[in-house]
Structure 1
Amino acid sequence: MNSKRGWLALLADFEARGEPCVLITVADEQGSTPRDAGTKMLVGREEQHLTIGGGHLEYRAVEIAREMLAAGTRQPRLERFSLAASLGQCCGGVTTLLFEPQLVQDLPVIVFGAGHVARALVPLLAGLPCAVRWVDSRPQEFPDPLPAGVARIVTEEPVDEIARMPAGAYYIVMTHNHPLDLELTDAILARGDHGYFGLIGSRTKWAKFRHRLAARGHGADRLATVRCPLGLPEVQGKLPLEIAIAVAGEVIAHYGRQAEQADLPLRLVTASPS
């Protein structure tokens, strides 16, 4: 689909709808090619906008982009096409395309407890690229209305919610009940696939928990993944909002590091003749 709107406006449309897409740019051109360097198009799962010249080149580019979307690929990719040799186009030149996935990331975060700190924290998380589930057994503790995009879960069995979370989820445990905190911690560590796990409490609390959890079979490596006390140590203060800002900052820092680790070096692929 062609459009008279610019690529930035079209990309903003994808972002507003929460749909991933791939931005394709003609990175280099040699000889006779359909479009000049800098030409762009956007490809979503079911739609495409703008054009890099049509023909077999564009058909193959759309195919590659949708393969990347289906695989959830984060890594940008350069691919060089010899138009005559590999695609049978009469232009005869060489075009290099840059594929940049624009993925929508709603990080799954589950917050246990609806006390003062959680009530300060959840609105901060809701303003980040997070899909927040907020769990407590006391419906009266939740604010009305909830922050946009936050799912409230009222249950007498909060530990059961852990099994419903996807791999790599972020867990923040800050309930009013220390025995419940221990059971939640045990269940989260037993899953062993959390992306981040923060537990509210002092070093003394964590020392007691660590001893009991070790007795339940959790090894030192697994226990070391728990952040307790949680939050950026540079952010001092004991007010609920101060603690919440420290925790939100740590979440941001953590998913930022994960994103850096996931971004592998750009790779160049030369299209082979079909």
Structure 2
Amino acid sequence: MNVWALIAGAIARQGSCAMVSVIRTEGSAPREAGARMVVSAEGFHGTIGGGALEWKALAAAQGLLGKPRQVKLMHQSLGPDLGQCCGGRVSLAIESFDAAYLPEVEANAAREALGSFVLAGRIPGIDAVEQFGACHRQVLVFGAGHVGRALILALASLPFDVIWADPRRESFPAAMPQNVSGFAGHPLEVVASARPGALAFIMTHSHALDLELAAAALRNPAIAEVGVIGSATKRARFERRLREAGVDPARINAMICPIGMGGIRSKLPAAIAISVAGQVIALDEALSAPACQGMVQRGIVG
């Protein structure tokens, strides 16, 4: 969610806007530090976790609409204060923005459009480093068959930059999700251009192509994890062929095959896709660097 673009648009249309940011959590909380909502007279975008906390924050943000720039801090014990079962504590910053603040908002929106950036000490009284803009892991999906199509739909609403590769141009649908780019050339080109930390999931129409892609992906140090659709038998065959091809044994051992999270027996493409999407989320969280966190809290002042 590009928060500064949303704020700029709301100010341009209505003259004011508000933003709710989670600035600190203690114990169990519905969202992490850095979660945000943008609130305007038209409604709101984003979530800080729902429930009574979100409704109270929305009411406070709506109360600041139409007012000059100001910041309200809210500290809530989720159990005693709000009756939520989480049991933790959450600190929020609720900010209002008006037309006088528009140049700074537009400058931040321009930086946001170019990618990830950080701001330190932006909120008065809050000692924190905030990350804005896209900081999304690249997910490479090879194959536009039934499972590939289902996986693309499962990833559509998740914060990943997805490259969907298949040499059969006619296999792609007419429209794709906003976070997906289709590639109809040779899939090895996608492997070669992978960004550092990319995840590769291979499920093409051809076992020979799967093996070729797996070998190339495992040899590319930029690709953090490589998954291949298949069975234990396919894995054993691929392991032997990859060793014969001179692929690093440690990388072969780390290859994910079969793909997907355990405990799901269904072979329906949509079920497999949900299982793999869950695995993508788990891998992303395990690999994420601190620079990709929404807010690094250094302590609240005052």
In the alignment, is the contact (CA less than 8 A) between 1:117 and 1:240 conserved in 2?
Answer: yes
Query: Residues 152 and 265 (structure 1 numbering): CA distance in 2 closer, same or farther, change over 3 Å?
Result: closer
Query: Residues 72 and 213 (structure 1 numbering): CA distance in 2 closer, same or farther, change over 3 Å?
Result: farther
Secondary structure of the residue that 2:178 maps to in structure 1?
Answer: coil
1:249-268 aligned within 5 A: 249-259=278-288, 266-267=297-298
In 2, the alpha carbon distance for the partners of 1:38 and 1:248 equals: 32
Match of 1:163 in 2: 192
In the alignment, is the contact (CA less than 8 A) between 1:202 and 1:228 conserved in 2?
Answer: yes
In the alignment, is the contact (CA less than 8 A) between 1:117 and 1:244 conserved in 2?
Answer: yes
Match of 2:271 in 1: 242
In the alignment, is the contact (CA less than 8 A) between 2:18 and 2:94 conserved in 1?
Answer: no
1:60-139 aligned within 5 A: 97-139=127-169
Unaligned runs of 5+ in 2: 1-7, 22-35, 46-70, 74-91
Match of 2:38 in 1: 12
Query: Residues 129 and 70 (structure 1 numbering): CA distance in 2 closer, same or farther, change over 3 Å?
Result: closer
In the alignment, is the contact (CA less than 8 A) between 1:77 and 1:266 conserved in 2?
Answer: no
Work out whether 1:141 is the aligned partner of 2:167: no
Cα distance, 1:173 vs. partner? Answer: 0.5
Query: Residues 251 and 97 (structure 1 numbering): CA distance in 2 closer, same or farther, change over 3 Å?
Result: same
Query: Residues 174 and 71 (structure 1 numbering): CA distance in 2 closer, same or farther, change over 3 Å?
Result: closer
Query: Residues 149 and 98 (structure 1 numbering): CA distance in 2 closer, same or farther, change over 3 Å?
Result: closer
Q: Which has the larger radius of gyration?
A: 1
Identity across matched positions, percent: 32
Secondary structure of the residue that 2:38 maps to in structure 1?
Answer: helix
Match of 2:104 in 1: 48
Cα distance, 1:227 vs. partner? Answer: 0.8
- Of 140-149 and 126-135, deviating more is 140-149
In 1, the alpha carbon distance for the partners of 2:205 and 2:236 equals: 18
* Count of residue correspondences: 219
Instruction: State the TM-score, normalized to the length of structure 2.
Output: 0.59
In 1, the alpha carbon distance for the partners of 2:93 and 2:153 equals: 40
Unaligned runs of 5+ in 1: 17-24, 28-36, 50-61, 82-94, 269-274
- Of 256-265 and 124-133, deviating more is 256-265
- Of 129-138 and 244-253, deviating more is 129-138
Secondary structure of the residue that 1:222 maps to in structure 2?
Answer: helix
Cα distance, 1:72 vs. partner? Answer: 5.1
Cα distance, 1:255 vs. partner? Answer: 1.2
Cα distance, 1:111 vs. partner? Answer: 1.0
Secondary structure of the residue that 1:228 maps to in structure 2?
Answer: coil
Match of 1:220 in 2: 249
Query: Residues 158 and 101 (structure 1 numbering): CA distance in 2 closer, same or farther, change over 3 Å?
Result: closer
Cα distance, 1:140 vs. partner? Answer: 2.2
Aligned pair partner of 2:236 in 182, 201, 207: 207
In 2, the alpha carbon distance for the partners of 1:217 and 1:158 equals: 21
